[in-house]
Amino acid sequence: TQIMSRGLPKQKPIEGVKQVIVVASGKGGVGKSTTAVNLALALAANDSSKAVGLLDVDVYGPSIPKMMNLKGNPELSQSNLMRPLLNYGIACMSMGFLVEETAPVVWRGLMVMSAIEKLLRQVEWGQLDYLVVDMPPGTGDVQLSVSQNIPISGYHLEEPTKFKKSQAANHNQPSGAVIVSTPQDIALMDARKGAEMFRKVHVPVLGLVQNMSVFQCPKCKHRTHIFGADGARRLARTLDLDVLGDIPLHINIRETSDTGQPIVFSQPESDEAKAYLRIAAEV
Ligand code: ADP
């Protein structure tokens, strides 16, 4: 209870990190982690001078270790901070590095919160231009607490609003949230809850990513909108948000994720990788 009542330190910047981009979703299985991983790689690929980190606070089902082909225990620095593990040029930290892969994650809220505090505050990132954060899916207490504690220094809005590039010009840290959704009604309803949660805690929503919007048959090239075509665009209009981009449903995205060779790294010239690269240019 001590940790709970003390709460996490509010809005304190993460040392060395310029911009935090939170990748969230209203529900599980819509491609949030896949987007977070490929977005991190795309930010680095678009500008090789930028240093990028990836923080997996999806404490209930961390998937970054597998997707980034990493495992092991982080070393501790002299000041007792955890050192991120590195692959494909991205500094990574995940709950998955701290617990056994087979260990059941049946912690109570208190343990989850102290784990999240460790991940948010006790990592030695060094200097990062971007830190991409893979959130737990949904809009429960844990998600609310993490989003309240996302450092958006110098960017505290009086009015819950959407992020505007013109406003960001005056700030070093135009941090905010990217919400991933499929075009399906149910996923979109959950995405709306996500957007409302961020607005409540004054985290600017950078925009929506519509995932799995179109499937192109590899044999006949026919395009099918399996989960609907334009759901995210309609939702974006009603919420006054931008759509940052569309990611097609493609077997190469799934296979490269499962084998720990994300598509932006392993097939950078593919149309699917280019979809992520375009989104990275928008945030
Ligand atoms: P979440 O983080 O929202 O739970 P994941 O990123 O783990 O979702 O994705 C769920 C599954 O869907 C994974 O197997 C992933 O490889 C696959 N997937 C995600 N996006 C796509 C896509 N655009 N095309 C094909 N498979 C995808």
Q: What is the pLDDT of residues 134-153, one digit of tens each?
A: 999 988 888 888 888 777 64
Averaged confidence pLDDT in the chain: 85
Give the pLDDT confidence score for residue 166 in this predicted structure. 45
Per CATH, the number for 2-282 is 3.40.50.300
ipTM more than 0.95? yes
In whole angstroms, what separates CA 70 from the centre of its chain? 18
pTM of the entire predicted model: 0.89
Q: What is the CA radius of gyration of the chain?
A: 18
Of the CA atoms within 13 Å of residue 2, those in its CB half-sphere come to 0
Banded model confidence at residue 11, pLDDT cuts 50, 70, 90: low
Would you tell me how many other CB atoms lie within 10 Å of the CB of residue 199?
18
* Ligand 1 lined by 250 (C-beta under 6 Å): yes
Cα of first residue to Cα of last residue in the chain, in angstroms, is 38
* Ligand 1 lined by 137 (C-beta under 6 Å): yes
Distance in Å, CA 257 to ligand 1 centroid: 8
Euclidean distance between CA atoms 102 and 185, whole angstroms: 34
pLDDT (average), residues 53-65: 92
Contact 8, 119 (CB under 8 A): no
Contact 52, 89 (CB under 8 A): yes
Q: Ligand 1, residue 28: give the atom nearest the CA.
A: 4
Distance in Å, CA 182 to ligand 1 centroid: 10
Q: Ligand 1, residue 63: give the atom nearest the CA.
A: 7
* Ligand 1 lined by 34 (C-beta under 6 Å): yes
Lowest mean pLDDT among 26-30, 139-143, 177-181, 273-277: 139-143
| Closest residue to atom 8 of ligand 1, CA basis | 31
Q: What is the pLDDT of residues 115-139, one digit of tens each?
A: 888 898 899 999 999 999 999 998 8
User: Which residue type sits at 251?
Assistant: I
Q: Over 50: is that where the pLDDT of 8 sits?
A: no
The phi-psi region of residue 25 (left if phi > 0; otherwise alpha if psi is between -120 and 50; otherwise beta) is beta
Identify which of 22, 32, 34, 210 to mutate to test ligand 1's pocket (most ligand atoms within 8 A of the CB). Answer: 34
Contact 51, 43 (CB under 8 A): no
Euclidean distance between CA atoms 181 and 189, whole angstroms: 9
